[in-house]
Structure 1
Amino acid sequence: MLNEQLRNIVQGMPKAELHIHIEGSLEPELIFALAQRNSVSLAYPSVEALRQAYAFTDLQSFLDIYYAGASVLLTEQDFYDMTAAYLKRAHADSVRHAEIFFDPQTHTARGVPFETVINGIWRACQDAPISASLIMCFLRHLSEDEALDTLEQAQPFLDKFIGVGLDSSEVGHPPEKFRRVFERARALGLRLVAHAGEEGPPDYITSALEVLNVERIDHGVRCLEDPVLVECIKREQIALTVCPLSNIKLRVFDVMGEHNLRKLLDAGLKATVNSDDPAYFGGYINQNFVAAFEALPLDASHAKQLARNSFEASFIEPEQKRAFLAEVDAFFANVPAA
C-alpha cells in the first residue's frame, strides 16, 4: 500500500497533463445526459450497462466503444460541457496546465461542422480554472488525404490550437504514412507530437522522430526494446507522455507491477504521467499517479522528477514554464524528509 505521505505528495503536487483525449473524458453519466438532450439512442440501457462494457482486450476494442460514445456530441454546447467537466476534474487533481487532444474527424465524419467542435472545446478552455491548450489529432486508420483535408478545414482556426498529433489504431498505420501532412503542419508553425510505441513497435517511435520530426512521443513505452533508440531519445531530450492505467487496461502490460515507468526514469528519459482516456481506463491523472506509485518502487524524488518533466515537456512559453517549475520546487521544499 502507498503510504499516506507519498499519496498526498503525488496528489497535491503541481503538474501538467500532456496526454488527454478530450473525447475520452466523456463519463457514462454525461454520455446519457447528452444523448437525452440530443435525442440520440444508445445501444446500452443504462449508465451501469455502459460502464460494464468498458472491458477491453486491446486498443481496437476500446476504440469501437469510444467512437460510439462520441456519437452524442452534436452541438457546440456539448463540446463545451465535456471539456469543462474534464478541466474541473483536472483542477481538483492539482493540474496547472493541460494540453488537450481532440479528434475533429470523429465528428466531421458524422456531419458535425469543424467549427462546432473546436469552438466548444476552445471556449471551455478560456473559461477554465487552469491553463489549457489544444492539439488537433489525425486519425491514423484514415488516409493521409483525409488528414490533409482536416488540416485545411482547420486553417481559419489556427489561433485556437497549438499543434497536431496522431492517434487511433497504431498497428498497421506507421507514422510515415502521414509525412506530408506533418510537413504541412510544421510549415504552419504548429507543434508536432505523435502516438508511437504503445501497441506498435519501437520502429514506429524512430519513424515518428525521423520522418515526422515530432517533438514529443505519446506513450513510447516500447522504446526500451531498442537501446539505440533509447540513447537517441535521451540525447535529444524527447519527452514520453506515459499513461499507466491505459497501458494496463489495453494489455500493454498485464499488471501495474510490470510497468516500465521506473525503468524509463532510470534510463534518464523524460517520462511523464498522464490519463489518456480517463473515463474509459479507470482514472484521471492522480489515479494514474497513485496506481503507479502503489505498484512500483517510486518515491518522492521520482514524484518531483515527474512533476518537473511534465512542465519541461509542455509547449507553454518559457516565462510561464519557469513559474510552474518554481512552484514545483517550492512544493517539494516543504515536503518532510522521508
Structure 2
Amino acid sequence: MPDAFTSSEDRAAFIAGLPKAELHLHIEGSLEPELMFTLARRNHVAIPFASVEEVRAAYAFSNLQDFLDIYYQGMGVLHTEQDFHDLTIAYCARASADNVRHVEIFFDPQGHTERGIAFETVIRGITRALDDASARYGISSKLIMCFLRHLSEADAEATLDAALPYLGRIDGVGLDSSEVGHPPAKFERVFARARALGLKIVAHAGEEGPPAYVHEALDLLKVDRIDHGNRSLEDPALVARLAGEAMCLTVCPLSNLKLCVVDDLAAHPLRTMLDAGLIATINSDDPSYFGGYVNANYRAVADALDLSRAELVTLARNSFTGSFLGEADKVRHLAAIDAYA
C-alpha cells in the first residue's frame, strides 16, 4: 500500500477504518445541544438559549476560560443517574461509529456535587452506560476522575474521599479546568494520596500554561500521561525528557484550534511531536463544543499537515500504547492495526 494519499477522500476512508483508542475526552464536553434541550425539558431546567442553533452560535471562544464558562453552564441540565447514562451512551455510540475500540474518559464530579448532585448519582449513571457500551459496541473503557484546578486542594481531597467507595470503577485521577494561575504544585498532596491508592495519574499541562507546568506534572504529581502538552515544545530539554521517558501526550487538534492555542491547523505541532519521537495521540477533548469527534480530529489535522499512512498508523498505535490497558490487550489492538495497515 503506498504511503501517500491521492485525495482527502482517500485519507478519510483510511482513517474511518483505522482501529483507535481515545484517551482525552471530557464526558460533560460531549453534551450535544439536542440532548441539552432534552434534559432541560426532562428536569425542568431553564437554559439561556431558544434553539439548538443559538447554542451552537454561542460556541465561539477566544480562550480556555470563554469555553469553561459555557461548559459549566451546560452541565447544569444533568441531574439524574439516567441523565449521566444517556450522556455517556450517546458518546460511546459516536465513538463506535468512528471505529474507536477503547475509551478513557474524564468526568468532573465537582462540577456536579457543588450543584447538589450526589457523587453516587454521577458515577452510577456513567458506569452503567460504559457497561452497556461494552455489551452493545464492544468498547472497553477506563474512567478518570478529574479535579477542578480553579478550586482548592482541600476540595479535591473531599472529592477523593467521596470516591473511595467507588474505586473499583475509577482507574485514575486527572487535573483540568483553568490552567493559568493554577499550577500542578497546588495539588501535589492529593495526587500523592491518589497514587498511593493505586490510581493512575494524568494532568492537563502545557495547553495554555508554560512548560514549567509540564515539569511540575512530571516531578511533583508524577504523572503517567500528559494531557495536551503543546507548549512542551518550547523547552528542548523537556522534549528530550518526554521522548526518553516514553511519556504519552493526549493532543486535541480541533480543541487547540477552537480555543486559539493554534491559529491554523497547518501550524499545529503534531508532526513536530512525532518527528521528535514523542508518543502523541489524537483526541476530541470536548467534541460537542469544538466541532468534532475523534475521526473529525484525525481528518482535520491529517489534511492540514498532509499526514501519511505511516504517520496515521503511528498515531493510532500510540493511542493504545499510551492507554492504561493491560499488555495483552495492547498487543491485541496493535495487531489489529497492523492487520488493517
User: Is 1:119 the equivalent of 2:128?
Assistant: no
Taking the aligned partners of 2:339 and 2:199, their CA distance within structure 1 comes to 32
Q: Which residue of 2 aligns with 1:335?
A: none
User: Is 1:314 the equivalent of 2:323?
Assistant: yes
Shift of 1:2: 4.7
- 1:194-243 Cα offsets, whole Å, 9 max, x none, are 00000000110010000000010000011110000001000000000000
Q: Which residue of 1 aligns with 2:158?
A: 149
Q: Which residue of 2 aligns with 1:166?
A: 175
- 1:156-213 Cα offsets, whole Å, 9 max, x none, are 0001110000000000000010000100000000000000000000110010000000
Aligned residue type for 1:315: F
After superposition, where does 1:81-96 map in structure 2 within 5 Å? 81-96=86-101
Match of 2:186 among 154, 164, 177: 177
Taking the aligned partners of 2:105 and 2:81, their CA distance within structure 1 comes to 17
User: Is 1:211 the equivalent of 2:213?
Assistant: no
Taking the aligned partners of 1:30 and 1:116, their CA distance within structure 2 comes to 18
Shift of 1:97: 0.1
Q: Which residue of 1 aligns with 2:38?
A: 33
Taking the aligned partners of 2:67 and 2:117, their CA distance within structure 1 comes to 22
Give the unaligned 5+ runs of structure 2.
Answer: 1-5
After superposition, where does 1:281-300 map in structure 2 within 5 Å? 281-300=290-309
Aligned residue pairs, count: 332
Q: Which residue of 1 aligns with 2:197?
A: 188
Shift of 1:47: 1.1
Taking the aligned partners of 1:196 and 1:310, their CA distance within structure 2 comes to 18
Other structure's SS at 1:134 match: strand
Taking the aligned partners of 2:45 and 2:86, their CA distance within structure 1 comes to 17
User: Is 1:110 the equivalent of 2:121?
Assistant: no
Taking the aligned partners of 1:318 and 1:161, their CA distance within structure 2 comes to 19
Shift of 1:5: 2.1
Shift of 1:135: 0.2
User: Is 1:222 the equivalent of 2:227?
Assistant: no
Q: Which residue of 1 aligns with 2:66?
A: 61
- TM-score where L is the length of structure 1: 0.97
Aligned residue type for 2:39: L
Shift of 1:292: 0.3
Taking the aligned partners of 2:12 and 2:163, their CA distance within structure 1 comes to 41
Shift of 1:268: 0.5
Q: Which residue of 2 aligns with 1:12?
A: 17
Give the unaligned 5+ runs of structure 1.
Answer: 333-338
- 1:285-332 Cα offsets, whole Å, 9 max, x none, are 000000001100311000100010000000011111110011011010
Shift of 1:3: 2.7
Identity %: 61
